[in-house]
């Protein structure tokens, strides 16, 4: 079956760095997405990886290893506004998204 | 620029009552449209998607139905709500023909069935 695993909750300190991991098993693979979702709001797109390696966008970076079925989202210089859920989603061979349950990130001062 | 509107933002309905949630997209034509449900502690569940007017694909057999009466309008309905229909409903779109592109989500509807 198709499956996405990511931690349920993580806690980090303002100004620090946090890495949120995601492992996936899909029928075929057409890329991996990370979305940010604040409580009660819509998910917003953060990153898309389809090739192995690291993609950097300001304070946020995303990494993909297709051979390991593994991705991570790296958040640097954490700010209080980064407190949110981070959703990992893998796209299968039919271009359907398989979603993880999300990782709730709590930032403490 | 493209925008997506979804309403209402919150809804409290009794069991057995009907449901109608509406979603419209502006600034693009022939978008692919999606309805998702998000339950606490679970990943987004795809309910329906549409690639064109009158074309609806159902991913999960359930108490809900969807319709696309116009190119940029997507409606989620139920004739009789169940307690298990409670959840956060999200409408989303992406450009037709760009299969691996990102989704743009509406602001969501929090549905409570009592």
A82: helix, strand or coil: helix
CB B44 to CB A95 under 8 A?
no
Query: Nearest-CA distance from B40 to chain A in Å?
Result: 8
The token pair at B77 is 């309905």
Q: Please state, in angstroms and as integers, the Cα–Cα distance from residue B32 to each residue in A32, A78, B71, following that order.
A: 19, 35, 9
pLDDT of residue A75: 98
Nearest to A42 among B41, B46, B107 (CB): B107
CB A42 to CB B108 under 8 A?
yes
Residues of A within 8 A of B110 (CB-CB) are: 40
pLDDT of residue A1: 81
Straight-line distance from the first to the last Cα atom of chain B, in angstroms, rounded to the nearest whole number: 39
pLDDT of residue B61: 66
Low-confidence ranges of chain A (pLDDT < 50): none
pLDDT of residue B98: 78
Q: Which residue of A has its CA nearest to B49?
A: A96
pLDDT of residue B100: 77
Strand residues in A16-99 grouped as ranges (E):
18-25, 32-37, 44-49, 53-57, 60-65, 70-75, 84-91, 97-99
Tens-binned pLDDT, residue by residue, of chain B (114 aa): 889 999 999 999 999 999 999 999 999 999 999 999 998 878 899 999 999 999 999 888 678 999 999 999 999 999 999 999 999 999 999 988 777 789 999 999 999 999
């Amino acid at each position: 079956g198709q499956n996405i695993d990511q931690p349920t909750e993580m806690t980090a300190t303002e100004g620090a760095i946090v890495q949120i991991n995601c492992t996936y098993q899909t029928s075929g693979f057409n890329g991996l997405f990370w979305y940010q979702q604040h409580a009660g709001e819509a998910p917003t797109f953060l990153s898309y990886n389809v090739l192995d390696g690291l993609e950097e966008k300001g304070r946020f970076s995303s990494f993909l290893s297709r051979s390991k079925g593994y991705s991570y989202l790296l958040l640097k210089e954490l700010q209080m506004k980064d407190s949110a859920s981070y959703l990992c989603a893998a796209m299968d061979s039919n271009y359907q998204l398989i979603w993880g349950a999300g990782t709730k990130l709590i930032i403490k001062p | 620029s493209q925008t997506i509107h979804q309403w209402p933002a919150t809804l409290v309905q009794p069991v057995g009552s009907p449901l109608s949630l509406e979603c419209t997209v502006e600034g693009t034509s022939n978008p692919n449209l999606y309805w998702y449900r998000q339950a606490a502690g679970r990943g987004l569940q795809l309910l329906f998607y549409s690639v064109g007017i009158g074309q609806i694909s159902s991913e999960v057999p359930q108490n809900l139905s969807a319709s696309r009466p116009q190119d940029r309008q997507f409606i989620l309905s139920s004739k009789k709500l169940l307690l298990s229909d409670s959840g956060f409903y999200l409408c989303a779109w992406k450009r037709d023909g760009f299969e691996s592109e990102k989704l743009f989500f509406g602001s969501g509807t929090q549905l409570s069935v009592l």
